[in-house]
Structure 1
Amino acid sequence: MSQKPQTGGRLRPVDLARPHGLSTQAVRNYEDDGILPPAARTPHGYRAYTPLHASALRAFLGLVPGHGHRTAASVLRAVNEGALDQALRVVDESHLQLLEDRRTLESVERALRDLAPEPDPARAASPVSVGPLARGLGLRPATLRAWERAGLLRPGRDPATGYRVYAPADVRDARLAHQLRRGGHGLEDIALLLDRVRAAGGLQPLEATLHDWHARLTARGRAMLAGAAELDAYLRARG
């Protein structure tokens, strides 16, 4: 059963909105969406908020940077409905997603470390056909063709024969895809990563992207900790 808001220390919408740079309409919308518990009304029909509402708003805004708006809203709605276990489950699932993202990054870094340095473009090897490339990777040619259909590989074609030809960059992509597949990653995720490699111009420039990826995950983890503190404060205020 949901808990009624405390009535002591009456606050106006502007009192909740101003410290966070929000509009009073945003505060009203949060109440209408269930992010804030229902407010009492004055005899003239005005919303009468309390310190409990201010705590709920801080909890929501504290959760958003680490968990996102949708997840933060789901957590606050569950808490306000008295479904604490459901709220904590949503938080747990968000933490699990962060862990999965960390594991993905670690797998990508391992795959990149296992690759030999990219060749000097001035001394690049000649293109290879699908058969020799597949044998070198211990795969079937059909696998490379399937990866091409999934968007992982983009080999050229020999203008005389129409056969697939894999330039050094294509060979690099095939080797990276092979490493990531062995790490359990799906074709869609690998295709996105290979797009990043191509956009960066190779593996070496990708290091900056990986550094930024690390930084974003770290910031997300820290934001989750800060949001947890605000959520705990709100739970304590509810009693």
Structure 2
Amino acid sequence: MPHELRTGELARATGYSDQQVRDLERLGVIPPAARSANGYRSYADAHLVALRAYRALALAIGPVAARSTLAELRTRPIAEAAALVDELHAGLARERERVLAARAGLAAIAPTDASAADPGGSMSITELASALDVPSSTLRFWEAEGLLRPDRVGSMAARSYSAAQIVVARVVAALREGGAGIPAIRSIVATLGDEPGIASADRALDARLDALAERSVMLLRASAALVELLERTEVGG
């Protein structure tokens, strides 16, 4: 016989408040509760599993993304749902690769190393946007905010990003992806021409790597709850 839970019991079991449980039900994170004759909500073990899965996933990828991901997981066969979870891990890996590329680039523009100060090579706005996985409009916005200073080449004055500007763009992208604001990033970018500034940027990127490692661990912890959720969904569906 299914285990029935009142709103307060479900809230205590998952670390949410009663109102948060009701809100998450309204948002579709968990299925609608059964209602008694007097209107009281009654939840089952399936609601407990779904809410625990959401809580773990929200810590790993954020609440908004977790809501949409859970909604999609519940509508897919288990093999497709598992592939979607794999893509979440892959997304974190791609973020980490971008941060590591930014850190590697910092060494190439360090003023103390004259031989590496101008590593050569340039990119168009389309090439750089593709490399950073952002729209070209984002690069134009960063330029308007004083974060990037591309060269203008040819009769059409097309944007061309030098090797040094590519490094700056990688640093900006990594910090923006981590939630840093434009003013804070502008302060870091403004000092990339000296050794203390590069050290400051390196520390900021190290903090990003630490945050990504924590999110990866959280996503691993979410896996057990997600597996149980998927198995219940498959059996129920």
Given that 1:34 and 1:77 are in contact with CA atoms closer than 8 Å, whether structure 2 keeps it comes out as: yes
Deviation at 1:113, TM superposition (A): 2.0
Match of 2:173 among 189, 198, 202: 189
Q: Are 1:23 and 2:17 matched, yes or no?
A: yes
Given that 1:17 and 1:23 are in contact with CA atoms closer than 8 Å, whether structure 2 keeps it comes out as: yes
Counterpart amino acid of 1:189? A
Q: Which residue of 2 aligns with 1:230?
A: 225
Q: Which residue of 2 aligns with 1:220?
A: 215
Encode CA deviations 1:114-147: one digit per residue, 9 max, x unaligned: 234448xxxxxxxxxxxxxx9x9577xxxxxx99
Match of 2:65 among 38, 59, 71: 71
TM-score normalised to structure 2 length: 0.65
Query: Which of 99-108 and 81-90 deviates more?
Result: 81-90
Given that 2:6 and 2:43 are in contact with CA atoms closer than 8 Å, whether structure 1 keeps it comes out as: yes
Q: Which residue of 1 aligns with 2:93?
A: 99
CA change 1:72–1:190 in 2 (3 A) is closer
Greater C-alpha Rg: 1
| Structure 2 unaligned regions, length at least 5 | 123-138, 151-160, 177-181
Deviation at 1:236, TM superposition (A): 3.0
- Measure, in 1, the Cα distance between the counterparts of 2:190 and 2:232: 51
Count residues with an aligned counterpart.
Answer: 193
- Measure, in 1, the Cα distance between the counterparts of 2:174 and 2:52: 38
Counterpart amino acid of 2:16? L
Q: Are 1:204 and 2:199 matched, yes or no?
A: yes
CA change 1:138–1:114 in 2 (3 A) is closer
Q: What is the 5 A alignment of 1:9-158?
A: 9-81=3-75, 87-88=81-82, 90-118=84-112, 151=146, 152-153=148-149
Percent identity between the aligned chains?
28
- Measure, in 2, the Cα distance between the counterparts of 1:14 and 1:68: 24
CA change 1:113–1:32 in 2 (3 A) is same
CA change 1:8–1:107 in 2 (3 A) is same
Given that 1:17 and 1:24 are in contact with CA atoms closer than 8 Å, whether structure 2 keeps it comes out as: yes
Counterpart amino acid of 1:210? L
Q: Which residue of 2 aligns with 1:127?
A: none
Across the aligned residues of Structure 1 and Structure 2, the Cα RMSD in angstroms comes to 3.9
SS of the equivalent of 1:26 reads helix
| Structure 1 unaligned regions, length at least 5 | 1-6, 120-133, 140-145, 155-172
Encode CA deviations 1:181-213: one digit per residue, 9 max, x unaligned: 7xxx6x973896973333686102222212211
Deviation at 1:69, TM superposition (A): 0.7
CA change 1:80–1:42 in 2 (3 A) is farther
Given that 1:35 and 1:77 are in contact with CA atoms closer than 8 Å, whether structure 2 keeps it comes out as: yes
- Measure, in 2, the Cα distance between the counterparts of 1:113 and 1:199: 14
CA change 1:108–1:92 in 2 (3 A) is same
Deviation at 1:174, TM superposition (A): 6.2
